[in-house]
Amino acid sequence: MRKEDFLKPINSELMGNSGIHVSKSHNNASLTYKTGTTTAGLTCKDAIILGTDKRATMSYFVASKTAEKLHKIQNHLWMTIAGGVADALFLVDILRAETTIYQLKHDKKPIKVQSAGKLLSNILYQNKMFPFQVGLILGGVTEEEGPVILNIGAYGSILKSKFASVGSGQGFSYGVLEAKFEENLSIEKGKEIIKKAITSSIIRDMFSGNGIDIAVIKKEGPAEREFIPI
């Protein structure tokens, strides 16, 4: 028997041979509560821009209109979250702690974005049998790498890209990002693209809404935050 078969609580051979019978209706209980969101990010000249909506949902119920989906990991490193809130916030805390420890060991030198992404990927991959229900965009700017955007999946996949979108409204955002993105964008033009991308999702995706939260992470200086009510 494969070890994966032991981890299926209802349909496994182990459960079948045990004489314990569980109603399959319980297997669908976890589908009752779903989260929806729109997160997006892109690279500019010497900067990255991340944006999210502010709505958190439980199935068709709007659980929050002020959800925080944009998190600072380090001054030069930020992350957006989508999916299960508890899983995502746990990973934010873990990554923030691990990257802080790394920088303390290296004379406060900023950790590379791709190194932080690999660290997060390893955590996700190690738990792939009981995966964190998340979709993450990790982005930042370092001297060696320049601006970097990483789309990190629940099983630990890493996709480096010039732009990315994650969440229930990502299909609508990608349409805008594909059409509008250019190399070496100015920060102002990049912000406009992110605003349009998330707005398009808010208009068409019922699980996204209640404003746009934007962060501009630059090569030098603190990140700039902006909230746009919709």
Nearest to 151 by CA among 191, 114, 194: 114
Q: What is the SS3 assignment for 57?
A: strand
Q: Which are the catalytic amino acids? A: 37
Element (H, E) at 70: strand 70-74
CB 120 within 8 A of CB 138: yes
What is 93-155 written as a DSSP string? HHHHHHHHHHHHHTTTPPPPHHHHHHHHHHHHHHTTTS---EEEEEEEEETTTEEEEEEE-TT
3-class secondary-structure state, position 37? coil
Q: CB count, 10 Å around CB of 121?
A: 20
Question: How far apart are the C-alpha atoms of 222 and 229, rounded to whole Å?
Answer: 23
